[in-house]
Chain A
Amino acid sequence: REEKQLELTLEALISQVADLKNSLVSFIYKLENEYDRLTWPSVLDSFALLSGQLNTLNKVLKHEKTPLLRNQVIIPLVLSPDRDEEIMRQTEGRVPVFSHEVVPDHLRTKPDPEVEEQEKQLITDAARISPDGAQKQIQSLNKMCSNLLEKISKEERESESGGLRQNKQTFNPTDTNALVAAVAFGKGLSNRRPPGSGGSVQSGQPGAGAIIAGASGMQQVPMSSAPAQQQPMLAGVQMAQAGQPGKMPSGIKTNIKSASMHPYQR
C-alpha cells in the first residue's frame, strides 16, 4: 500500500515538474527572442505562472497522502560509462551517460556550500532572539504588510471609480422616463396644447383635412357621428378653426354632452 502511494506521488511530482520545465522553457524563449518587444506585464505573467506552479508542487509535497520522501534513499544501481539511449530520450539529450561524473551532481541532496552557510547563519540568528521578541517582530511584519495591502487596494479602487465616473454617463434616467412617457401616452407630444399649431392648420385636401380634423381634438365629435360624407367633414374643419383658438375648454364640455345625448351608442 505504501508502495502504491509512493508511485502515485512520484507520478504527480513528475507531471508537476514537467509543467514547470515547460513554462521555464517558454519564458527563456520569450526573454531571448522577444526581448525588444517584451512588456512588463508579460514578464509578470510568466513569473506568476512559475510561482503558481511552484505552489502546486509544494502542495503536492505537503499533501497528506505523500509518504515521507525524506525517509527514502536513492541509490544508483548501475553506473556505466557507455551511452544510454533510454536516459538520452528521457532527458531530451541533456544527459547522455549515467556515469560517475554525472551521478553526484544529479543525485545530490546537500545544498550548495554558500546556501548552507546562509542557512546556518539564519538558524543561529533565530535561536538568539527570545520567543517574545520573535512574536513582536512577527506581529509588526504582519501589520506592515496589511497596511501596504490596504493602501494598494484603496489606490486601485479610487483610480477605477475615477475612470468609471467619466465613462458612466452613457444614459440619462430622466431622459429614459421622458421617452417612455412619450411613447406610452404622448407626454410632450400632444398636438392639442401648442397654440401655434392651431393657427397654422390648413384645410387642404379632404384626406389631409381628415387627419387635421382628428388632430384638433374632440371638436369633431358631433360632426362625425353623422353618416360620413366629405362635405360635412370639410364644413366641420372650417367650424373647428373658427372656434378653436379661444374656445377650447367650453367646446369640450358641450361636445361631451352632445355625445352622450346622441342616439347611437358608441
Chain B
Amino acid sequence: MEAPPVTMMPVTGGTINMMEYLLQGSVLDQSLESLLHRLRGLCDNMEPETFLDHEMVFLLKGQQASPFVLRARRSMDKSGMPWHLRYLGQPEIGDKNRHALVRNCVDIATSDNLTDFLVEMGFRMDHEFVAKGHVFRKGIMKIVVYKIFRILMPGNTDSIEPLSLSYLVELNVVAPAGQDVVSDDMRNFAEQLKPLVHLEKIDPKRLM
C-alpha cells in the first residue's frame, strides 16, 4: 500500500509529487535559548512563532505486512485553523551524496471531523503526542524546534508529560522531486548551527 517511488510513476496529470527533505537533531533544554537566539539571527525576520499541536498517527492494517500510515495534526492554541492530514512515504534510498532524508509527502488541509472520517475508513489511532515549540523560516526552509509530550490519558490533552529533556530540531523543505540542490542548501544551513545542534539525516528504520 505504499506509493511507488517517484521515478516509476508516469505523469498522468494532477498534482506534482512533492518530496520532503528532512534533517533532524536535538538540543538540551538548557541550551534552547542560545539556539533560539541563533535561529532568530539566521532566519527570516518575522515575529517569533510558537505553536502547540496535537498529532495523532493513524494506521490502516491490510493484508500486507506494512500498515498504511496517516498523520492528523490539529492546532491546540490557534482557533479556526484547519486540521492537517499528512502522508509520508518511505525514505528514498538515494546515493550517499544526498545530505538530507528524502521522502514522498502529501499534505492536505481538512475540516475538523477528520478523526471520525479516518475511523470510519477503517484507520485506527496508533499513537498520539503533543508538540510544543517554535517555528522559523528561511526562504523555503522551515526550522521547527519543539518538545514532544506524551499523553497520559488517551484523548485528554491536558495531562501530558515531556518525553525527554531535549527539544527536537527539524529542518525540512517541501519541494518537487528531483531538486537535489535543496539538500545542499540545507546542509550549508545546518553547518551554521554547529556546534549547538548537529542536524543530520537519521534513518528511522535504524532506530526500530
Contact = CB atoms under 8 A, between A and B. Distances in A.
A147 interface: no
A197 to B, nearest CB: 6
A-B pairs, top 4 by smallest CB distance, nearest first, are A186-B127, A184-B204, A215-B154, A175-B166
B5 interface: no
Contacts of A178: 163-164
13 contacts: A170-B27, A170-B34, A171-B198, A175-B165, A175-B166, A176-B25, A179-B24, A181-B207, A183-B129, A185-B208, A188-B150, A189-B151, A200-B153
A197 B127 contact: no
Interface residues of A, number: 45
A181 B34 CA distance: 25
B26 A179 contact: yes
Contacts of B115: 210-211, 214
A200 B154 CA distance: 9
Given A189-B128, A189-B163, A210-B116, A170 B207 contact: no
Contact of B148 (A177, A179, A216, A225): A179
Contact of A183 (B31, B62, B148, B196): B148
B128 to A, nearest CB: 7
Interface string A172-215: 11011111111111111111000001001100000110111111
Interface in B88-105: none
Nearest to A164: B195
Contact of B28 (A169, A187, A213): A169
A18 B34 CA distance: 45
B interface, size bucket: 35 or more
Given A186-B126, A197-B153, A176 B195 contact: no
B168 interface: yes
A214 B124 contact: yes
A171 B27 contact: yes
Majority secondary structure of chain A interface residues (helix, strand, loop or mixed): helix
B186 interface: no
A109 interface: no
Interface string B123-134: 111111100000
Interface in B41-64: 57-58, 60-63
Contacts of A191: 125, 127-128, 151, 154
Given A181-B207, A213-B119, A190 B127 contact: yes
Interface in B36-87: 57-58, 60-63
B28 A228 contact: no
A218 B61 CA distance: 10
A171 B124 contact: no
- Which of B63, B152, B153 has the most chain A CB atoms inside 10 A of its CB? B153
B164 A214 contact: no
A254 interface: no
Given A172-B26, A197-B154, 18 more contacts: A168-B195, A169-B28, A170-B27, A170-B197, A176-B198, A178-B163, A180-B168, A180-B202, A181-B207, A182-B129, A184-B207, A191-B127, A200-B153, A210-B115, A211-B125, A215-B125, A217-B124, A225-B122
Nearest to B58: A214
B13 interface: no
A187 B163 CA distance: 10
Contacts of A173: 198
Contacts of B122: 224-225, 266
Contacts of A210: 115-116, 119
- Which of B35, B119, B198, B208 has the most chain A CB atoms inside 10 A of its CB? B119
Contacts of A241: none
B155 interface: yes
Contacts of B129: 182-183, 186, 189
A106 B149 CA distance: 81
